[in-house]
Each structure stands twice: as C-alpha cells, then as structure tokens.
Amino acid sequence: MFATRTFVNSRQLNKGRLFFFLFLFILAGLVPASSFAHPSPNSLVFLDVSPGRVALEVQMPVPELELAFGNDIAKNPETLLQRFEPQIKEYLAAHIHAYVTKARPWQVLIAGLKMDKGTYLDSNIPYWEVVAQLNLVPPAGENTRRFLLDYDVIMHQVINHVALVSVRSDWETGNLHSESGEATVIRRNIEDGNVHPLEVDLGRGSWLKGFNSMLELGMEHIREGTDHLLFLFVLLLPAMLLVNGRKWGKFGGIRYSVSRLLKIITAFTIGHSITLLIGASGWLKLPAQPVEVLIACSILVSAVHAVYPVFPGKEMYVAGGFGLIHGLAFATVLSNLHLDAGTLAVSILGFNLGIELMQLLIVIMIIPWLMLLSTTPVYKWMRIFAAVSAAVAALSWIMERISGDPNFVTIAISKMSPYSPWYILGLVIISMGTYMWYRKKSYSTPSKISFLRVF
C-alpha cells in the first residue's frame, strides 16, 4: 500500500553528514535511560480516504513538538492552544504537503486542533498531545487513490522522531474499520538526512463498493445496537392492544394492529432519518454521553407505557420524537469517517437504507408472533415481564452511561446479545405452543375463548 521513494544517488552521499548522524545515534544509545523523562514517543497519522478528499488526523506528543516548535509549550500544555493555535496551524501547513506532481500541490486545510491527555501504557507516565484534523483536497482531474504525502512535522528538527501512518478508512474499498489498516513509517533517511515523501497507493476503488459498505454498516449497526432494537420492541409491545379505561385491553384485530404498527415504525424512521442527515452533515453536534443517556431513557419511558398506557394512541408521536435522539447516535458513525460532501450524501442514503432493511427484517420476524401471542391471556404476563426487564436494562444503561463504569446487568446484556436469534426462535415456539393450546381449549369451551375467533 505504501512505498518510499529515494531521490538521491548513492555516489553523491555526503559522508560528513552520514558520520554525524551515526555519531548522534550512537551517543543516544550510550546515554542512560534515566536521563530521559520518558521514552521518546512517536506521532500517529491516520488517513480517512474518500473520493473528494483525504482527511488526516495527526497526534503529536507535546514534548517532541516543543523541540521543533519551541516557545516552551510543554510547561503549560493545558493552555497551549489558547496561546499558540494560529502559530501551530501555520507550522503544520508548512510541514504537511500532498501532491501527485509538485507542480500541482493539493490544498491543505486545517479543520481544527484540540488537546488530548493520557498515560503511557508501558511507563504509566502522563502525557499531552496536540491532535490536528486536516483535509487534503486534490486539484481538479486528480483523485485520492494515489499521491505523495510530504510530511516532516517534528522530525525536521528531531532526527530520531518517527510518524506511524495508517489508512483508518477507505470509503471506495469498503474499509471502514480502523483496525484493518496497516501502519508504515515516515522517518529521516539516515543516508542523506532527508525526510522523503511517502507514496500512498490505495489501488482501485469504486462508488458501488462504498455504497454497499455503507448499506452493510447500517444493517450491522442495527443488528448490534441492542438499545435501539429494545426501544422499538418495547414500544411495539402494546401496539396491537385496545385501551380499556386506564389499562391495556384485548387484542384489537389484525387491521387495527397492522395500522398502528406501521404508524409507529414509519414515525421512528422519519425521526431518526432527520437527525441522521443533520448530524452526519455537521449541522448539529451534541456530546455522545447525553445522547446515549437519552436513548436509555427512551427505553424506560416505553417500558412504563407497555405496562400502563401513559400515552395511548400517541405512540406514533413518541416514536418520532425519540427517533430524533436515536438518529443523533446513528450520525456519529458517519461523522467519524470524515467524508467529503458528495460521498457523505451517498453514505447517508446507503447507511439509512441499511438501517431500514435490518429494522424491517427484525420487525417481520417478531411482530407476527407477538400478534399471535396477544390473542391469548398469556400475553399480559409476557408483556409485563418483557417491559420490566427492559426497564431494568434501561436503568442499568443510564447508570453506566452517566458514571462510565459498566455494571453486572450491562455486562450480562452484552454477553447475551449475540444469542438474539435464539430468543426469536423461543418467541416463535412459545407463541405457537400457547396459541395452539388455547385454540384446542376453545373447542371445549368456545364461549370463554371467543377472542381466538379473530383467526
């Protein structure tokens, strides 16, 4: 995927420079480890590639950045950006370039800077990093599949500093997962003392592969999104029942049930589609934590409604309202890919279509059996049990998402989630068994089991 180009003839090497760098490396090896505050860390460069641009995320350790940038920035790193943000942007723009030929350089746009604080895993020493977001935009007629990345941040001054570069996502090949990228290294060439451009060659890609990958990502997100599915499931639990005073009554019939189910599902779809578009486009950004807490709250509210009709006949509006919140969580998946405008529009379409297809598939697999079971007296207790279980899960998620610490309930849910097909099979068996048992009983006491006559 990557290759480095050497632009120097070996006969033209500067022997004095070669011996100088060798001396520095040998000297560094002789200095005791205790002379350093911590091991010299590397910079990390992540590429998110889409047809119209390459988004770069650059993570630079502050102590090493100070050696190249100066200004004693390591003394008060928490206020670094307040003091030097414009200067750091100019510095990055001067040391990061991209092109196919030098005569047609790409635009380098710095989208933002932020500070990140953490701890080294090997030494437990705290560190600060400057994290920069950049966009590399090719000129008209060039694509992002092959180019040269001319990068020498920090290493133009710190000779032993390296940058680890990996493709975090490549939309046109369907590579959307950070762990799938292979890392390569940009470092100073010891022979000539220069930092050579890195050749990025991503091979062939296509819009069709990108669209299909977003379709699959949407389906995967719903399939693995236990909280999203649980909200919809609990909201649909009483949808086929009539309201009897302040309680849920008997089964309302097939036409009544299908009509209400379609309204609820359509409203939820419209709601999350709106905020998916707004959030993924960057028009609205909310912190992830409150959104996740609100999603858990939506499950809790739906669970209470499944036991006691809090908003009978208004489930459609509730589904649409809470769908707006769920859509913000969906949008986070796309915004993390850092796509350009055209690719983002196609991605929203594919991702949303994937969500709807998986959602529809799950509803088709579940709803007929809930309708069948709702014609029997057993459904009352099954509905209450399912609603109480969902409420417990929702409260546990709320506590986890506020505190940041998992609890035994959320851990159990994560372990049980992969077995969801078996739960659906269990629902099928229980529904058919219960219905057949009551139907058989109705032949002997038809006056008491008249509700079965809807079938």
Whether the predicted pLDDT of 177 surpasses 70: no
Mean pLDDT rounded to a whole number for the chain: 83
What are the residue boundaries of the structural domains of the chain, listed by start?
2-205, 208-454
What was the pLDDT predicted at 12? 39
Cα separation, 322 vs 388, in Å, equals 20
Q: How far, in Å, are 75, 317, 391 from residue 388 at the CA level?
A: 54, 23, 5
What was the pLDDT predicted at 337? 78
Q: Where are the alpha helices (DSSP H) in 308-377?
A: 315-335, 341-373
Over residues 55-86, the pLDDT tens digits come to 999 999 988 999 888 888 888 888 889 988 99
Over residues 109-130, the pLDDT tens digits come to 999 999 988 776 666 677 889 9
Cα separation, 312 vs 93, in Å, equals 59
What was the pLDDT predicted at 424? 87
Long-range contacts formed by 293-297: CB under 8 A, 24+ apart = 293/398, 293/401, 293/402, 294/325, 295/227, 295/228, 295/231, 295/322, 295/325, 295/326, 295/329, 295/397, 296/227, 296/394, 296/395, 296/397, 296/398, 296/401, 297/394, 297/398
Whether the predicted pLDDT of 20 surpasses 50: no
Whether the predicted pLDDT of 415 surpasses 50: yes
What mean pLDDT is predicted for residues 155-160? 90
> Which amino acid is located at 442 in the chain?
S
What was the pLDDT predicted at 120? 63
Parallel/antiparallel/unpaired status of strands 183-186 and 163-170:
antiparallel
| Angle of helix 378-403 versus helix 288-307 axis, rounded to 10 | 160
Whether the predicted pLDDT of 4 surpasses 60: no
What mean pLDDT is predicted for residues 333-361? 87
- Determine what percent of the chain is predicted with pLDDT higher than 70: 86
Whether the predicted pLDDT of 205 surpasses 60: yes
Q: Return phi, psi of residue 103, to 5°.
A: -70, -20
Over residues 291-316, the pLDDT tens digits come to 999 999 999 999 999 999 998 888 89
Instruction: Report the range of poorest mean pLDDT among 18-32, 208-222, 417-431.
Output: 18-32
- Which H or E run contains 250? strand 247-251
What was the pLDDT predicted at 452? 45
End-to-end CA distance of the chain: 62
Phi-psi region of 124 (alpha: psi -120 to 50; beta: other; left: phi over 0): left
